[in-house]
Amino acid sequence: MPFSSYQIRKIQKKQQKKRLFLFVLLILITGIGIISTVAFSPLFRIQQVIIPEAHFVKISDIYQKINQFLNNQKIFHLISVPPNLLFFSSSDCQLIKQSFAALESVNCQKNFLNRFLKFDLKEREVVGIFCPISTNERCFYFDKEGVIFAPAENKENQKFLIKETGGRIYVLGNKILNENFSSILQIRDFFIDKIFLNSIEINNYDVIYLFDNGFKLLISIQKLKESANLFPKLLENDFTLKNLQYLDMRFLPKLYYK
């Protein structure tokens, strides 16, 4: 019995689907084979990891963290592979940075010719020392962004000291303030070569600048930026800070002083 045109078309569609399935399967198998060959090939296997010396971070700790990434490399999150240059990504590089609070930036370079992975580290620069009351006199270094990044080695040799009296719990990598920390530094800079700044106290609401001559400057945390913008105008009008006991800017636009 001859096939009808409908039956012929149906058979042809089945054959097309079968050929397409076999073609996709072939591509998939070929792709897996290529990826597996590359993953296990000695041509891309990392032979050396180069890390420069650092001051605040132990090189051994960085090596340990990098080895954790390299030893956990997997194809399709299933098959473990030897440390491979191709499988170490820029996101892995940034995860190394995020693992150490003292690192401001990390740049990773791959050398396929000599099969090594090189790390360029930039550590945070010390701006001052931060002593939160919650840590029982344990102090930390902080940078220009207000990030605390390492235990302070010698508090006596540091001129810029911030004390936290609000009882907040801090860990490495935290910011002293979530916003407007740059305004604290900006206000501090107004007093350079004018009055010696002993220290700064921060609580949950206010920032208090304490000076060598007994003068106090009180500023609301919520109005730090506004206060920093106002200071140049005060100095332009010969506002004599040296003769004051305190200047209270917590209730701007009103000023209270004595």
**Same domain for 135 and 245?**
yes
Other C-beta atoms within 10 Å of 142: how many? 24
Based on the fold, state whether residues 65 and 151 are members of the same structural domain.
no
User: The pTM is what?
Assistant: 0.76
The domain that holds 245 is classified in CATH as 3.40.50
Question: Is 80 inside a domain boundary?
Answer: yes
End position of a domain, from candidates 123, 148, 169: 123
The domain boundary, picked from 123, 151, 183, lies at 123
Type of residue found at 218: L
- Same domain? For 150 and 107 the reply is no
| Dihedral of the alpha carbons of 175, 176, 180, 183, in degrees to the nearest 10 | -130
Whether residue 33 is contained in a domain is answered as no
Amino acid identity, position 59: I
- Does one domain contain both 99 and 139? no
- Residue pair 66/60 in contact (Cβ under 8 Å)? The answer is no
Secondary structure (3-state) at 178: coil
The reply to whether 52 and 118 lie within a common domain is yes
- Co-location of 173 and 212 in the same domain: yes
User: First-to-last CA distance in the chain?
Assistant: 113
- By the 8 A CB rule, do 190 and 196 touch? no
Domain region containing 117: 43-123
Q: What is the DSSP letter of 239?
A: -
Residues 61 and 164 in one domain: no
pLDDT tens across the length of the chain (258 residues): 555 565 556 666 666 766 666 666 666 665 655 555 555 666 778 888 888 888 899 888 988 888 887 777 766 556 667 777 777 878 888 888 889 999 999 998 988 888 888 999 999 999 999 988 876 668 899 999 999 999 987 665 566 889 888 888 888 999 999 888 999 999 888 877 777 888 899 998 999 999 888 888 899 999 898 888 887 777 665 556 667 788 888 888 887 777
Residues 99 and 198 grouped into a single domain: no
* Any domain includes 21: no
- Amino acid, single-letter form, for residue 3: F
Q: Mind giving me the DSSP string for 45-60?
A: B--EEE----SSS-HH
- The count of structural domains within the chain is 2
Q: List the one residue out of 253, 207, 208, 212 whose CA is nearest residue 233.
A: 253
Is the same domain home to 104 and 154?
A: no
